[in-house]
Amino acid sequence: MQSFSEKTCVITGAGSGLGREFALLAAKLGMRLVLADVQQDALKQTEASVTALGADVLSHVCDVRRGDEVESLAQAAVKRFGAIHVVFNNAGVGAGGLIWESTQQDWEWVLGVNLWGVIHGVRVFTPLMLASAKADPNFEGHIINTASMAGLLTPPAMGIYNVSKHAVVALTETLYHDLSLIDAPIGVSVLCPYFVPTGISHSDSVRPSDTQATTQPTRSQQISQAMLEKAVSAGKVSAAEVAQITFDAIKAGQFYIYSHPQALGNVERRMQDILQAHNPSDPYEQAPKLREQLRAGLLES
């Protein structure tokens, strides 16, 4: 996709973090914006920021777990702007702890946002983009699904998050192949950021009432939360930098997008384990202090 100006871009999770930075950069590139988030106040703040940059913007409160709400978002976007050219299925939340300690509510919340949000985005927006391509021989589109390096690795005490992001990678790879099969003029990318300073470590603050935990956090969940907050806040690559990397990748037609390509050594080791039928290598091999910190916390009486 070579031109962004005057194209329409839909962004979920636009109220903060990566979504907000995607919106700011898209506005600077002259795009029309459809912004969605479950947090109305944060959404309004992003709307004000991109409006100040001269963008034509539509904001829509949307819980991406709900298919009907994503459909309403799409209907509003088409009614306002017509063709949709770029879709960021970006909304996401984080959760940790030993995998067997996660409750049904934990699973429903994280998979609802991280996986079902992407499923609904693909299910709803892809047919609209295909219809636009059929009507306009010059149509160019692109779909970007936000996964994580946790979609390519399996670090301990991050079970629900790992599962959700691995599923997003598989979904996105399949979408790429399916669109290629029918020669659709729609590019596809999967974004796999590592630790980037965003609000994901405070996801619990926006957890909906229907998925609230009925028990107190376990020790492993508390330790994982503290480690996540520290790792995210210490991230050296900013959300704005990831946004720029992502738009550059869209322009280049690049499928896999990494914020920290230096972390791919761990992915390579995992692939070798799979190919050689080895037991899984330690994902913290390059950062043994993290593993020891996690073990020490869990083994304390």
State both tokens at 273: 């384990």
Walk across the sheet containing 8-12 and list its strands: 57-61, 32-37, 8-12, 86-89, 141-146, 186-192, 256-258
Q: Residue 256 phi/psi, 5° resolution? A: -85, 125
- Which of 161, 194, 258, 284 is flagged as catalytic? 161
Residue with tokens 């669109």: 179
State both tokens at 47: 């709307």
Single out the residue of 31, 29, 28, 23 nearest to residue 6, CA to CA.
31
* 194 catalytic residue (yes or no): no
Burial of 279 (0-12, 13-18, 19+ CB in 10 A): exposed
State both tokens at 261: 């390509």
Q: How many other β-carbons are positioned within 10 Å of the β-carbon of residue 96?
A: 28
Contact in structure between 122 and 44 (CB atoms under 8 Å): no
Single out the residue of 259, 257, 265, 300 nearest to residue 284, CA to CA.
265
State both tokens at 110: 């994280």
Q: How many whole angstroms separate alpha carbon 241 and alpha carbon 197?
A: 11
Q: How many whole angstroms separate alpha carbon 128 and alpha carbon 70?
A: 13
* Active centre residues (catalytic): 161
